[in-house]
Structure 1
Amino acid sequence: MLYWVLKVTLGPLLHLVFRPWAEGVENVPREGPAILAGNHLSFSDHFFGPLHLPRKVISLGKAEYFTGRGLKGLISRMFFRGVGTVPLDRSGGKASEAALRTGLRILREGHLLGIYPEGTRSPDGRLYKGKTGVARLALMSRAPVIPWAVINTREIMPPGKIFPRFGIRPGIRFGKPLDFSRYYGMEDDRLVLRAVTDEIMYALMELSGQEYVDKYAATAKAEMARAAKEAARQAAGK
C-alpha cells in the first residue's frame, strides 16, 4: 500500500520540483509480466524510474537495505518493504539461485520486475558489464525484456549523498522490448547467457549515452578503493 501512497503523494511533488521527463512509456505493457532491465546511477533511481508508469514495479534490491541499524536502518527497511522491494543476497551460489526463484515467482504472478544487471550502482557514471542473472530470468520466464535507462540521476544524488541537488532535470527512456525467443530452452548455456546479457547492456548504452566498460562495477569499485587507500598511504608516508 505504501507504494501507491508514495505514488500519489510524493509523485506530484517530484514532478513539480524536478520536472522529470520520459520517453517510450508506451513500450511497457499495461498488463502481464515483463522485466525492466535498467542502468543504476543513484539511489534516486528508485524514485524516478517508475514515476511515469501506471503499474507497480517490484524491484530486487540488495539485502543491505534491510539489515541496517539505528534510525536510518529502520527507515530504510520500512521504505523498501513498503514499496515492494524484495531483498537480494548478492553473495552468489545458493543465494543467487534463491534470487532467481524469487524473480521467477514475481513474473509468474504477472508483475513488472525491475532489475539492475550491473548489480550495483556505477562508481563513476559509466555503464558496466552486466551479470547474467537477467538473461536466465528472461529465458526461463519468457517474459519480454524492456531496457530502461535513467538520465541525470547521478547528478541529482551522487553515491554517498543524502540530500538531492536541485535545478537538474532527470529523465528516463524506455526502449522497445527485446526478443530473445531464439534462445528459449538454452538457459544453461553460458555463452548464450552472456550474449543475451550483452545485448541488454548494448541497448542500455544506446538509450543512456553512457560510456561502456567491459568490467563488473563491483570490481571497479574495489580497484578504486584500493587505489585510494594506496594514495592515502603514500601521502601519509611523505
Structure 2
Amino acid sequence: MKVSIGGPLKLAFRPWVEGLENVPAEGPAILASNHLSFSDSFFLPAVLDRKVTFIAKAEYFTTPGVKGRLTAAFFKGVGQLPVDRSGARGAGEAAIKSGIEVLERGELFGIYPEGTRSPDGRLYRGKPGGLARVALATGAPVIPVAMIDTEKIQPPGKVMPKLMRPGIRIGKPLDFSRYQGMEQDRFVLRAVTDEVMYEIMKLSGQEYVDIYATAAKRQIAEAAKAEKQAQKDAVQAQKDAAQAEKAPGKEQAGA
C-alpha cells in the first residue's frame, strides 16, 4: 500500500528532500515534524524507504459504510495507527504507549510536537507530554523534520489539491540519553521539547510563537466570532438609523 500511494505522490508533486542520510537504515528513531497540512503524514513516508508510523484518531478507522472502510484502508496503508482520543489525558497516554511499542519493534515513529496543525503557517510551542516522554522512555534518537509549503497544496476549505513541489528537510539526530530515566521531570520534558522545536525552527525557517497551537486556534476563532458579531451589530445599527429617519415623529419635527 505504501508503494502504491508513495509512487503516485512523488510522481505528481515531485517533493524535494534534504537530509535523507540522517534517517537510519535500521533501528528505532523518532521523526519529530512541524505540522502544516493534513498531507504531511503522506509526503514524509512517501520519500522514505522505511515505514513511518503516525498516530491518528480512531474515528478514521471506525466510520461505517463503504467510505469508512476505504478511509480506514487508506490510513492503515500510509502507516497511521488508530488511537482513541476521547478524554485528553487518556488520549495522551494511549499515544505515548503506542509510540513506545512502535520503537520497541525497532521501527520509525512519527510525531507532531505541536499537537495539531498550525493555523497560520507559524511554528508553535511543542507539547512536552508526548515527544519527550517517548524519547526518554525508549532512548531512541529524535530526528527533527521540517515540512515546507505543504499548507499551500490544499488550504483549508479547498477540495482539489494544487500541484506544486513541497519540501522536506531532515535534520541530524538528537541524543537525549543524558536525561534517561527522567521522563517524569516536567522541567526535563520541557527542555527536551524546546530543543527539538528549536531545531525544527532552524530547518523550516518559520516564525516561532511561544504559545500552543490549540490556544492560537481558540484566539483566531474568538476573533473571527467577534468580528462577525461586530459586522452584524453594524448592519443592525444602520437598519435602526434608517427606521428612525422614517419614524412619524421625525417627519413632523421636520415639518
Same fold (TM over 0.5): yes
Kindly provide the CA deviation profile for residues 36-65 of structure 1, in whole angstroms up to 9, marking residues without a partner as x: 000110111122112221101011123443
Is 1:62 the counterpart of 2:62 in the alignment? no
The 5 Å alignment of 1:183-202 reads 183-202=179-198
* Corresponding residue for residue 93 of structure 2: 97
- Shift, 1:81, TM fit: 2.5
SS in 1 for 2:159: coil
Query: How far does residue 79 in structure 1 lie from its aligned partner after superposition?
Result: 1.4
Return the alpha-carbon distance in structure 2 between the equivalents of residues 119 and 90 of structure 1. Answer: 15
Given the alignment, which residue of 76, 84, 94 partners 2:79?
Answer: 84
Q: Percent sequence identity over matched residues?
A: 60
Post-superposition shift, 1:71? 5.9
Q: How far apart, CA to CA, are the structure 1 residues paired with 2:73 and 2:218? A: 29
| Cα deviation code 1:107-147 (max 9, x no counterpart) | 10111000111111100000111111100000001001101
Partner of 2:127: 131
The one-letter code sitting in structure 2 at the alignment partner of 1:231 is E
- Give the ranges of 4+ consecutive aligned residues of structure 1 lying more than 6 Å apart after TM superposition: none
Give the equivalent residue in structure 2 for 1:32.
27
Corresponding position: 1:146 with 2:168: no
| 1:159 equivalenced with 2:160 (yes/no) | no
Give the TM-score normalised by structure 2: 0.85
Distance 1:131 1:195, change over 3 A: same
* Alpha-carbon distance, 1:69 to partner: 6.3
Q: Which of 41, 45, 48 is the matching residue for 2:36?
A: 41
* Unaligned residue ranges in structure 2 (runs of 5+): 235-255
| 1:62–1:90 CA contact under 8 A, matched in 2 | no
Q: What is the number of residues matched between the two proteins? A: 232
Between 1:197-206 and 1:180-189, the stretch displaced more is 180-189
Residues of 1 paired with 2:43 and 2:99: CA distance? Answer: 22
Q: Counterpart amino acid of 2:79?
A: G
Could you say what secondary structure the match of 2:127 adopts? coil
Any idea what SS the aligned residue of 1:37 has? strand
The normalised TM-score by structure 1 is 0.91
Which structure ranks higher in relative contact order (CA pairs < 8 Å, sequence separation ≥ 6)?
A: 1
CA RMSD in angstroms comes to 1.7
Distance 2:62 2:16 in 1: 33
Match of 2:13 in 1: 18
Gaps of 5+ in 1: none
CA distance in 1, matches of 2:159, 2:45: 20
Q: Does 1:232 align with 2:228?
A: yes
Give, in whole Å, the separation in 2 of the partners of 1:229 and 1:181.
46
